[in-house]
């Protein structure tokens, strides 16, 4: 099983990218968590570019999502919402509607901030946007406020509560991605 992980932060040393890396370490056996590379290459969404032959970066995003069994998105919070680069990626992935790469895809959203709210508003907005695009978004996520106290961008120090929450969320996401028997 393959889980695609998208960080809404382009910053080297991002706490949200570290959160995805920590989640990958807690993936159940047989689950590969692959981080998407190329968010910064996406052009701003423009309908006239959204043709049968979209830009290569858009094709790469859509193909990466389409070949995943589940999606894990990490978002920082800028001015009370998700960053524009993440919203732009969701806009590109949501096309063509309704038959797009996100349609029915089990998805979870997590977030980390240096402030006290753990990207709660950004996560809510990302869940809403992803759900409207057709993803099957888990209601629960993981919020990490005061991220420098809990996450080390180099993958070192993490707190047990963050590890436990990530392990539970990834397990739930993977279970949602497995088709029911029968």
Is 79 inside a domain boundary? yes
Q: What angle do CA 172, 161, 163 make, to 5 degrees?
A: 55
Domain count, the chain: 1
State the residue range of the domain holding 128: 2-177
Q: Tell me whether residue 58 is in a domain.
A: yes
The verdict on residue 112 lying in a domain is yes
Residue 102 inside a domain? The answer is yes
Burial label for 35, CB within 10 Å (0-12, 13-18, 19+), is middle
Name the phi and psi angles at 113, rounded to 5.
-140, 160
The pLDDT assigned to 93 comes to 98
- CATH code of residue 126: 3.40.50.360
Q: What is the pLDDT of residues 97-136, one digit of tens each?
A: 888 999 999 999 999 999 999 999 999 999 999 999 999 9
Tens-digit pLDDT profile for residues 39-96: 999 999 999 999 899 999 999 999 999 999 999 999 999 999 999 999 999 999 999 9
Residue 182 in any domain: the answer is no
- Is the confidence at residue 152, as pLDDT, over 80? no
Do the domain assignments include residue 86? yes
Q: pTM value? A: 0.95
Per-residue 3-state assignment (H helix, E strand, C coil) for the chain = CEEEEEECCCCCCCHHHHHHHHHHHCCCCCCEEEECCCHHHCCCCCHHHCCCCCCHHHHHHHHHHHCCCEEEEECCCECCECCHHHHHHHHHHCCCCCCCCCCCCEEEEEEECCCCCCCHHHHHHHHHHHHHCCCEECCCCEEECCHHHHECCCCCCECHHHHHHHHHHHHHHHHHHCCCCC
Residue 41 lies in a domain: yes
In a domain, 43, yes or no: yes
Q: What confidence score (pLDDT) does residue 154 get? A: 66
């Amino acid at each position: 099983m393959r889980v695609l992980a998208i960080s809404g932060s382009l910053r080297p040393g991002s706490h949200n990218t570290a959160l995805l890396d920590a989640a990958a370490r807690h993936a159940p056996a047989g689950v590969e968590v692959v981080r998407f590379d190329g968010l910064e290459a996406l052009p701003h969404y423009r309908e006239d570019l959204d043709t049968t032959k979209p830009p290569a970066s858009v094709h790469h995003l859509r193909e990466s999502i389409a070949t995943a069994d589940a999606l894990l998105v990490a978002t920082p919070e800028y001015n009370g919402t998700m960053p524009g680069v993440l919203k732009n990626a969701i806009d590109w992935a949501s096309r063509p509607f309704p038959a797009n790469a996100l349609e029915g895809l089990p998805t979870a959203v997590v977030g980390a901030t240096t402030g006290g709210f753990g990207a709660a508003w950004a996560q809510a907005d990302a869940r809403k946007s992803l759900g409207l695009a057709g993803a099957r978004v888990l209601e629960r996520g993981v919020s990490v406020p005061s991220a420098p106290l809990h996450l080390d961008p180099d993958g070192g120090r993490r707190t047990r509560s963050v590890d436990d929450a990530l392990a539970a969320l990834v397990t739930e996401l993977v279970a949602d991605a497995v088709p029911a028997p029968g």
